[in-house]
Amino acid sequence: MTVESLFNEFTKLNRQEKKHFLDQILDSFLERRENDSNSTSLTKEQIAEVSNRIAAIKSKTAKTYSWEAVKPYALNKNV
């Protein structure tokens, strides 16, 4: 399965399913980091940053942007 086809399937999920999917991806990064010190995964600093961002989103203190707002910027800047 290509990344594009996986993303297309992801967009078909409802909000709760998307959150569950993303939680599983994050958990896999964190688990991999704990189980394999030689793996290419998140650093302790990156894990802390992700945790801080998740906490900010849950507490509704994070400034967020819709995909519609971000997409033109991302496509024009190749970010």
- The tally of domains found in the chain comes to 1
Cβ contact 23:51 at 8 Å: no
Among 4, 12, 58, 54, smallest CA distance to 30 is for 54
Decide: helix, strand or coil at residue 37.
Answer: coil
* Residue bearing the bigger pLDDT, 42 or 18: 18
**pLDDT digit string (tens) for 24-35?**
888 887 776 555
Q: Which domain holds residue 71?
A: 3-77
Gap between the Cα atoms of 17 and 12, Å rounded: 9
Inform me whether the pLDDT recorded for 79 exceeds 80.
no
User: Residue 23: what pLDDT?
Assistant: 86
Gap between the Cα atoms of 47 and 74, Å rounded: 24
What pTM was estimated for this model as a whole?
Answer: 0.41
How confident is residue 14, by pLDDT bands cut at 50, 70 and 90?
Answer: very high
Cβ contact 28:42 at 8 Å: no
* Residue bearing the bigger pLDDT, 42 or 24: 24
User: Residue 3: what pLDDT?
Assistant: 83
